Amino acid sequence: MDVFARYSPFIQDFIYRSRWKSLRAVQNAAGDAIFNTEDNVLLTASTASGKTEAAFFPILSLLDENPSSTVGVLYIAPLKALINDQFERLGALCEEAGIAVTKWHGDASQTSKRKLLKKPSGILQITPESLESLMISKHAEIPSLFGDLRFIVIDEIHSLLRSDRGGQTFCLIERLCRLAGCSPRRIGLSATIGNPEEAGRFLAAGSGRGITIPEFDGGREVWRLSVEHFFKTAPQAGEETDGPVYPEPPTDKAPAAADPGLGYIFEHTRGRKCLIFTNSRED
């Protein structure tokens, strides 16, 4: 099928504005599985391959064609940082179509939470722990919140496999569906799964639906790896260094207040998709 033609106009416009030359293999495969089956779907592809868009483009198209009367999509992610990142991406995409996106965790605003409780709709992004808290504190409101839930998207599903947190998360999903009287499809996203079939069975367990794990050729990928050292303090006498020493003046292309490490990263990553690892979260 022509997946692009099946997308809603606001999704097509987003793709045109983003100057994509074509859909990626995972996006074509996901669109075919989500549009043409009623199964749960497990998407496994490398990092930065477009899995989020692959799942949400068809989901949002279906939601745009037939809006839900309650929250239509429940997005569960293991980290608040991931939710915050996806909130920005989805919010910009959904604004034109009038599909609300609400994040719900300890750092999210109470105003947006109250707005959702008053008028449930669109997408709710939540961590497993916040979902449990919601189930307890708003027990009586679960049917009005999720009675017309269509999809549950579980990001980084590999982090929930074979763990107490994962078992608890899926118990919460079962309880929610029973309380709300809904039967949503489950969409799992992951970059690293050794046994997709086993993960697919875990994703679909108790849902009453089959599981589709799209197969596709992602093409050849080229990765560049760089290891750089930046010192917060000058090395002591006798210490050898194999990288720039702090402090070093920033380049003319880096922000004036940037330290050498940030300046280097700025110059070597702009315009590219990159993963940057540091020694600590503070760094």
> Of the candidates 59, 35, 33, 60, which has an alpha carbon nearest to the alpha carbon of residue 45?
33
Whose CA is closest to 16, among 7, 29, 28? 7
Tell me how long the chain is: 283
Tokens standing for residue 214: 């799209």
Secondary structure tally for the chain: helices H, strands E:
11, 7
Specify the amino acid at residue 212.
T
**What tokens appear for 161 in the block?**
């496999």
Q: Are the CB atoms for 36 and 64 separated by under 8 Å? A: no
- Residue in 90, 37, 30 with CA at minimum distance from that of residue 218: 30
pLDDT at 210 (0 to 100): 95
Q: Nearest to residue 8, comparing CAs of 60, 75, 66?
A: 60
Q: What is the residue-level pLDDT of the chain in tens, covering all 283 positions? A: 799 999 999 999 999 998 888 898 899 999 999 999 999 999 998 777 788 999 999 999 999 999 999 999 999 999 888 898 888 888 888 988 889 999 998 888 889 889 999 999 999 999 999 999 999 999 999 999 999 999 999 999 998 887 899 999 999 999 999 999 999 999 999 987 888 999 999 999 999 999 999 988 766 667 778 777 766 655 555 555 555 544 455 455 555 555 667 778 888 888 877 777 777 766 6
User: So what's the pLDDT on residue 236?
Assistant: 57
What is the DSSP code (8-state) at residue 119? Answer: S
Supply the DSSP string of 245-283, one letter for each residue: -SS-PPPTTS-TT--HHHHHHHHHHTTS------SSS--
- Only one residue has tokens 């549009």, namely 35
Structure confidence at residue 246 (pLDDT): 47
Domains assigned to the chain:
3-212 (3.40.50.300), 224-283 (no CATH)
Of 157, 153, 168, 149, give the one whose Cα is nearest residue 200: 157
Per-residue confidence (pLDDT) for residue 139, from 0 to 100: 92
Predicted confidence at residue 122, as pLDDT, reads 94
Half-sphere exposure for 160 (CA within 13 Å, toward CB): 25
